[in-house]
Amino acid sequence: MTLPRYAYLGPAGTFTEAALRVMAPEGTAEHLPMVDVPSALGAVRSGEADYAVVAIENSVEGGVTATLDTLAEGEPLVILGEVVLSISFELVARPGTRIEDVARVSAHSHGLNQCRRWIAENLPGALQVPASSNAAAAVALADGSAEFDAALAPPGIGESLGLEVLVSGVSDRASSMTRFVRIGRPGELPEPTGADKTTLVVHLPSDRSGALLQMLEQFSARGVNLSRIESRPRGDRPGEYSFSMDAMGHVAEARVAEALIGLKRTCPVVLFLGSYPAFHGEVTPVEPETTDESFAEATAWVAALRDGRA
Amino acid sequence: MTLPRYAYLGPAGTFTEAALRVMAPEGTAEHLPMVDVPSALGAVRSGEADYAVVAIENSVEGGVTATLDTLAEGEPLVILGEVVLSISFELVARPGTRIEDVARVSAHSHGLNQCRRWIAENLPGALQVPASSNAAAAVALADGSAEFDAALAPPGIGESLGLEVLVSGVSDRASSMTRFVRIGRPGELPEPTGADKTTLVVHLPSDRSGALLQMLEQFSARGVNLSRIESRPRGDRPGEYSFSMDAMGHVAEARVAEALIGLKRTCPVVLFLGSYPAFHGEVTPVEPETTDESFAEATAWVAALRDGRA
Amino acid sequence: MTLPRYAYLGPAGTFTEAALRVMAPEGTAEHLPMVDVPSALGAVRSGEADYAVVAIENSVEGGVTATLDTLAEGEPLVILGEVVLSISFELVARPGTRIEDVARVSAHSHGLNQCRRWIAENLPGALQVPASSNAAAAVALADGSAEFDAALAPPGIGESLGLEVLVSGVSDRASSMTRFVRIGRPGELPEPTGADKTTLVVHLPSDRSGALLQMLEQFSARGVNLSRIESRPRGDRPGEYSFSMDAMGHVAEARVAEALIGLKRTCPVVLFLGSYPAFHGEVTPVEPETTDESFAEATAWVAALRDGRA
Amino acid sequence: MTLPRYAYLGPAGTFTEAALRVMAPEGTAEHLPMVDVPSALGAVRSGEADYAVVAIENSVEGGVTATLDTLAEGEPLVILGEVVLSISFELVARPGTRIEDVARVSAHSHGLNQCRRWIAENLPGALQVPASSNAAAAVALADGSAEFDAALAPPGIGESLGLEVLVSGVSDRASSMTRFVRIGRPGELPEPTGADKTTLVVHLPSDRSGALLQMLEQFSARGVNLSRIESRPRGDRPGEYSFSMDAMGHVAEARVAEALIGLKRTCPVVLFLGSYPAFHGEVTPVEPETTDESFAEATAWVAALRDGRA
């Protein structure tokens, strides 16, 4: 039996790998570590991998920008699922090290940023040494090549390398949630669950004032809410913007389909990046006037009017 | 051959009859004068007439309110066409009467209102005598039963009665246009011409603030403009309102059909009172994003997304 | 002591006089009957009267159109108060007449319309004879000049003329409410009560699509609801419309004042026709974000920002 | 004379330093390199620095997220100005190295991402070695500690270190613009220039559907456009979002001030992060109905209405 192949931002031990393990546990999938997000997505486009797992929001490693930009350019890819992980680190060191001995601490620069206040309070005066990845700093400690005394590492990796965990649950925010998505090629649309997201990239018509508001009215006129919106400057057109958005609903639902029809008519570019179950699993409330039944009844009524049957 | 039967607000000589003659000239139709607007519409509902012609906007006779209310209640009726007439009167009198002899002038009270400033300037001090219709005053002059010296009458009626036209083109406004509509039973939907109107009656959900704005967004999200809107207090529910509206477009057009689907979903009552050619004949401008082609393409795109083909 | 002088649509006995007696009982005011609505309003403009009382919505006599048009043109007038009356008629006749004897019935044509179903059910086959006013028909019965057997008259007038009331409470609708307003010259702005209306006439910019929606957003952005809106074709500009509206609130309230500032900036014509207590007396709900305090705090915050104090 | 002190993301040689040199050339300011964005902003808060220069959009180094989050939390800071730089790299190596000899290339991981396609096309098969900063890789080449053959470095740094520039203008996008801002403490509000931006952070009311749309209507009702909007998940409230936005205009302009008043009334949190000249210098078009004069006239008109003077 051939296992599905998953590309991800490696090496083993990253938070992305932790997300991957939630989505496709070892034994059920082949894991392919990649050096960066574009490589992971490129592997799906080329067929080298079946899926990729990458961070898309609030990342402490890899690049959200890289994810959004790489999705938006080139052969179509779609999001098939998501997980949201609470990100916290372990302070790990060689056995025998005490926390008061830590004069230099290392992690990926995103990880150092993420833990900045904790470091200031718990390791005052410690020198921060950026590493090329969150896992790499721990590896360097383990193999003796480190020029620092401790590392902030994703949970589990320190123990697996024979290091000592001095502190666990290190994070500046009580809940620093990072969102990861599973990406694949179009053709496989997850079934609607009632608790779904639809991710889109939209370019606005440039010659129209109030264009953003008019774009959002396409959603509100059908009772569709957004859970995320981000403007991104367009590299190819200075002064113009594209918008990356998550709508609460599935394209198989009439209200989302109608909103997309409205966008497609009125915006020069609309990219569909997938409809998939939301990790939180809370069913999206749907008003009586935006149910599929309501759309079907109203559509039948207008069809009757057109035939003179009303 | 049986001619189509047209009910209208009589007697012969009213402005409504003038509108009728534009829509269905004598020889092509049987004309059935009625005592009021509800009777004219009732004759269509009962099958006594095939069509009715009644004033629906800016009337100087009959009642716009009566028209709107009677259309909205009872068996469905639809508007099949409209004409807009420039209303002006003739000051008519028995032969030999001079304008300086006119001490008392008569017309329907709406007609007297309509010409009020003209009377003040041209017949200063004249007593105004309300008559039961604009035609009736002229008839009374002709048959000698009048207790007044002159009448303001629709054009033509004075001459046909052997009266003298002292002044023609009497009106307070340079262009006091009145709009008349042809009403029939559902089943016959006029072909779209590109210059059409769709007349609707809508009740708003009462428990929602901003309900009027949300209702209008159903039009604006599809690029449909309104040429008329009137709130009408609902007799059955004090404090609630219904809205009578003309949208610029035909239900056979996708943008109008989509707006109606949106209304039907979100408003407790939506009455369709017809799609028909606008009298002015000016083609409604349609933006590229609201053409039928644009709707068809966008709908096909979403259908492909749902099948995983995008 | 000089009593205030009130012009109204006469003669005595009309529904308008009934409204007048509610607003300014005899003994507290001098009542000046006028032949029509424009005359009543003209009397205020000329100084002949201090106030006028006229119907403005759902009238069974006088003309709503005449009221709206006459208010909108000429020297400014403002609405100072309103009453809403439940309109019903009495069927009156000369003593000794029985209802089964009534072969011909008279009233103003609006009154006949208003009671049309009642007549069809209770006086089947009776001929309807339009009179020049609802009171006039009863007067003609009393003085013996009537060519009909009974009249539909406002309550009380029949008895005062020595006629017999055959049926009272005649009306086609359980509650056919008519709204009357008290008009005066600017200078006297009623105190806000919390249950107020502000009446406006607005012309839309003609060269802008979605202009109606944008106009209404000026209200919704400040949480102001409308209780009435009517488009009126502009006699001077065919194809353009003015809008007559009642907003729920008083210009002395910040949310209404801000909405008016928005209208004034964006619409070519904005006529203020008064802020006055609503007859229903139900306090308009005001959201926390649209209270006067909320506006004052937010305005102070922005003033501080501008001074670099934030 | 004391020079103003500018904190920035160091070391010397970063793109942030290039932006700093545009805003405050050497000789006019003291430059204080910091290890990360939070440190740079913290230095302004603590008084250690007068200003900070940090990337805020499309960064290739430092973190946009770190900038937005650090601005939004803690003692108020405001943006006083911006520059937008076109980011490109130089491929630098020790003298004598030829491009075909480059088997390993280094830069900050953001820099490697930024140049990914160029590397794939021009250094096919080269191993990518992440460095802790874009400048650090060049420094390592110069001091001989590098385990790679070439570095992608900000323009100028290679030459200053005695390295050879093999290729200049290296970038994947024709114009990869990065936006940097100058941050200070409140108290100093730049003069409006007609081409200004106002940066805001807004939390939406959570209990209201369509809240995003209603928030944006506060801008559109005053003719204010946005040039940037980003939703950011709120660490403290899972499932809720804050919005970071740039509005086109200055708080000293009435239209922007009114929009801010509207936001302040309706949104639980509104942070003002400054009004400052836009780098592009293109004057923001202002419609006649949103000029300061238009606001002043309309405000005076309503004041007169309230006094009964209209």
Question: Model-level pTM?
Answer: 0.82
Least confidently predicted of A217-221, B24-28, B165-169: A217-221
What local confidence, expressed as pLDDT, does residue B63 receive? Answer: 64
Mean pLDDT of C156-173: 90
pLDDT at C47 over 90: yes
**What DSSP line would sit under C79-145, residue for residue?**
EEEEEEEE--EEEEESTT--GGG--EEEEEHHHHHHTHHHHHHHSTTPEEEEESSHHHHHHHHHHT-
Cα angle B133, B134, B136 (rounded to 5 degrees) comes to 60
- What average pLDDT does range D183-197 have in this prediction? 93
Residue B240 sits at the chain C interface (C-beta within 8 Å): no
D130 vs A42, residue with greater confidence:
A42
Each residue of C287-310: pLDDT tens digit?
898 999 999 999 999 999 998 876
Chains that touch A (3 or more CB pairs under 8 A): B, D
Q: Is D171 on the interface with A (CB under 8 A)?
A: no
Angstrom distance (rounded) from CA A203 to CA A90: 42
Say if the Cβ atoms of B235 and C35 lie within 8 Å. no
Task: Determine the pLDDT at residue C147.
Answer: 87
Q: Report helix, strand or coil for C46.
A: helix
Which of A83-87, A199-203, A230-234, D10-14 is most confident?
A: A199-203
Counting every residue written for chain B, the total comes to 310
Q: Which pLDDT score is estimated for B201?
A: 93
Residues 6+ apart with CB under 8 A from C46: none
Distance of CA B149 to the CA centre of its chain: 32
Cβ atoms of C217 and C265 within 8 Å: the answer is no
Three-point CA angle B104, B108, B110, nearest 5°: 115
Residues A274-293: what's their mean pLDDT? 93
List the single residue in C with minimal CA-CA distance to B127: C35
Complex ipTM tops 0.90: no
pLDDT of residue D239: 64
A contact residues 93-132, partner B, Cβ 8 Å cutoff:
none
The predicted structure's pLDDT at residue C98: 95
Lowest mean pLDDT among A160-164, B31-35, C212-216: C212-216
Q: Which residues of A touch B290 (CB under 8 A)?
A: 265
- The answer to whether residue A210 neighbours chain B at the CB level (below 8 Å) is no
| Residue contact A130–D129, C-beta within 8 A | no
Q: Do B90 and B131 contact (CB within 8 A), yes or no?
A: no
List the alpha helices (DSSP H) in B73-231: 109-114, 116-122, 134-143, 157-160, 211-220
Are D60 and D87 a contacting pair, CB within 8 Å? yes
Mean pLDDT of C54-61: 76
Q: Which of A35, A110, A228 sits opposite D128 (nearest CB)?
A: A35
User: Which of the four pLDDT bands, split at 50, 70 and 90, describes residue D53?
Assistant: very high
**Helix (H), strand (E) at residue D182:** strand D177-184
Band (B221; pLDDT cuts 50, 70, 90): confident
Q: What is the pLDDT of residue D65?
A: 72
- pLDDT average, residue stretch C152-175: 87
pLDDT band at C41 (very low <50, low <70, confident <90, very high): very high
- On the question of pLDDT at A247 being above 60, the answer is yes
Q: Which helix (H) or strand (E) holds C270?
A: strand C269-277
C74 CB neighbour count, 10 Å cutoff: 12
What is the pLDDT averaged over residues B222-234?
A: 83
CB contact under 8 A, B110 and C210: no
CA dist D25 and D9 (Å) reads: 16
- Best C9, C113, C283 residue to mutate vs chain B (most B CBs within 10 Å): C113
Average pLDDT, chain B: 88
Of the segments A177-181, B138-142, D227-231, which one has the largest average pLDDT value? Answer: B138-142
With b for 16 or more beta-carbon neighbours within 10 A and e for fewer, the B83-95 pattern comes to: bbbebbbbbbbee
Distance CA A288, CA B208 (A): 14
Which of A109, A180, A199, A202 has the highest number of chain D CBs within 10 A, making it the mutation to test binding with D? A109
Burial of D156 (0-12, 13-18, 19+ CB in 10 A): middle
Contact flag B213-C209 (C-beta cutoff 8 Å): no
Averaged pLDDT of chain C: 88
Give the per-residue pLDDT at A97.
95
Predicted confidence at residue A87, as pLDDT, reads: 84
pLDDT in tens, B251-282: 999 999 999 999 999 899 999 999 999 998 99
The amino acid present at D175, given as its one-letter code, is S
Nearest-Cα residue of chain A relative to residue B310 = A186
Select from A221, A257, A297 the Cβ nearest to the Cβ of B302.
A257
Average pLDDT for A164-184: 85
What pLDDT score was predicted for residue D134? Answer: 78
| Structure confidence at residue D168 (pLDDT) | 93
A262 Cα to chain B: minimum distance (Å) = 8
Say how far apart CA C71 and CA A52 lie, in whole Å. Answer: 70
Phi (first) and psi of residue D83, to 5 degrees: -135, 150
Place of tokens 């096909």: B300
CB contact under 8 A, C251 and D76: no
* Chain A hits for D134, Cβ within 8 Å: none
Interface of B with C in 40-99 (CB under 8 A): 57-58, 63-66
CB contact under 8 A, A223 and D233: no
Give pLDDT tens digits for C16-28: 999 999 999 989 9
Residue B61: what pLDDT? Answer: 63
Does residue B202 have a pLDDT over 90? Answer: yes
C-alpha closest to that of A82 among A182, A1, A152: A182
pLDDT bracket for residue B249 (50, 70, 90): very high
pLDDT of residue B57 exceeding 90, the answer is no
Length of chain C: 310
Residue range B32-56: mean pLDDT, rounded = 92
User: pLDDT tens for residues A208-236?
Assistant: 557 888 888 889 888 898 888 888 777 66
Of A106, A110, A113, A279, which to mutate for an interface test with D (greatest number of D Cβ within 10 Å)? A113
Confidence of residue A129 (pLDDT cuts 50, 70, 90): confident
Say yes or no to pLDDT of C62 above 80. Answer: no
Top-confidence residue, D110 or A166: A166
Q: Indicate which of C175, C215, C231, C248 best probes the interface with B, i.e. most B CBs within 10 Å of its own CB.
A: C231
Range ranked top by mean pLDDT from C47-51, C204-208, C288-292:
C47-51
pLDDT at A235: 62
- A211 phi/psi in degrees, rounded to 5: -65, -35
Three-state secondary structure readout of C177-234:
EEEEEEEECCCCCCCCCCCEEEEEEEECCCCCCCHHHHHHHHHHCCCCCEEEEEEEEC
Query: Within chain B, where are the H helices?
Result: 15-23, 37-46, 64-72, 109-114, 116-122, 134-143, 157-160, 211-220, 254-266, 292-306
Q: Residue window 262-301, chain D: list those with CB within 8 Å of chain A.
A: 280
pLDDT one-digit tens code per residue, C244-282: 899 999 999 999 999 999 999 989 999 999 999 999 899
d(CA B122, CA B102): 10
Predicted pLDDT of residue D273:
95
Is the minimum CB–CB distance between D1 and chain A shorter than 8 Å? no
Instruction: Please tell me the predicted confidence (pLDDT) of residue B86.
Output: 83
Q: What percentage of chain A reaches a pLDDT higher than 90? A: 54
Q: How many CB atoms lie within 10 A of CB C291?
A: 16
| Separation CA C297–CA D4 (nearest Å) | 36
- Exposed/middle/buried for B26, CB within 10 Å: 0-12, 13-18, 19+? exposed
3-state secondary structure of D261: helix
Contact between chains at A128 and D280 (C-beta distance less than 8 A): no
Position A236 scores a pLDDT of 65
Q: Do C220 and B213 touch (CB under 8 A)?
A: yes
Mean pLDDT of B246-253: 95
pLDDT at D303: 92
Enumerate the residues of chain A whose CB falls inside 8 A of the CB of residue B307.
Answer: 189
User: For residue D28, is pLDDT > 90?
Assistant: yes
Query: Which residues in B lie closer than 8 A to residue A259 (C-beta atoms)?
Result: none
Residue of chain D minimizing CA distance to A87 = D235
- In terms of CA atoms, which chain A residue is nearest residue D225? A210
pLDDT at D237: 66
The three-state (H, E, C) secondary structure of chain A, written as one string: CCCCEEEEECCCCCHHHHHHHHHCCCCCCEEEEECCHHHHHHHHHHCCCCEEEEEEECCCCCCHHHHHHHHHCCCCCEEEEEEEEECCEEEEECCCCCHHHCCEEEEEHHHHHHCHHHHHHHCCCCEEEEECCHHHHHHHHHHCCCCCCEEEECCCHHHHCCCEEEEEEECCCCCCEEEEEEEECCCCCCCCCCCEEEEEEEECCCCCCCHHHHHHHHHHCCCCCEEEEEEEECCCCCCCEEEEEEEECCCCCHHHHHHHHHHHHHCCEEEEEEEEECCCCCCCCCCHHHCHHHHHHHHHHHHHHHCCCC
C99-122 pLDDT per residue, tens: 999 999 998 777 887 787 789 889
What's residue D138's pLDDT? 92
Give the residue from B224, B276, B302, B309 with the most A CB atoms within 10 Å of its CB, the best one to mutate: B302
What lies within 8 Å, CB to CB, of A216 at 6+ separation is A226, D212, D213, D216
Q: Which of C217, C295, C309 sits opposite D265 (nearest CB)?
A: C295
Contact of A223 with chain D, judged by CB distance below 8 Å, is answered with yes
CB contacts, 8 Å: A189 with chain B: 305-308
Please tell me which residue, A103 or C239, carries the higher pLDDT value: A103
Subunit contact A290:B189, Cβ cutoff 8 A = no
pLDDT score of B190: 95
State the pLDDT at residue A197. Answer: 96
* Residue D175: pLDDT band with limits 50, 70, 90: low
**What are chain B's domains?**
1-87+176-188 (3.40.190.10), 89-170 (3.40.190.10), 190-310 (3.30.70.260)
Residue A208: per-residue pLDDT: 54
Express each pLDDT in D122-145 by its tens digit.
998 898 887 777 788 899 999 998
Residues of A in contact with D209 (CB under 8 A): 223, 225
Over residues A19-48, mean pLDDT: 92
Question: Angle at which helices B292-306 and B254-266 pack, to 10 degrees?
Answer: 60
- Given a cut of 90, is residue D30 above it in pLDDT? yes
pLDDT of residue B177: 77
pLDDT-based confidence at residue D235 (cuts at 50, 70, 90): low
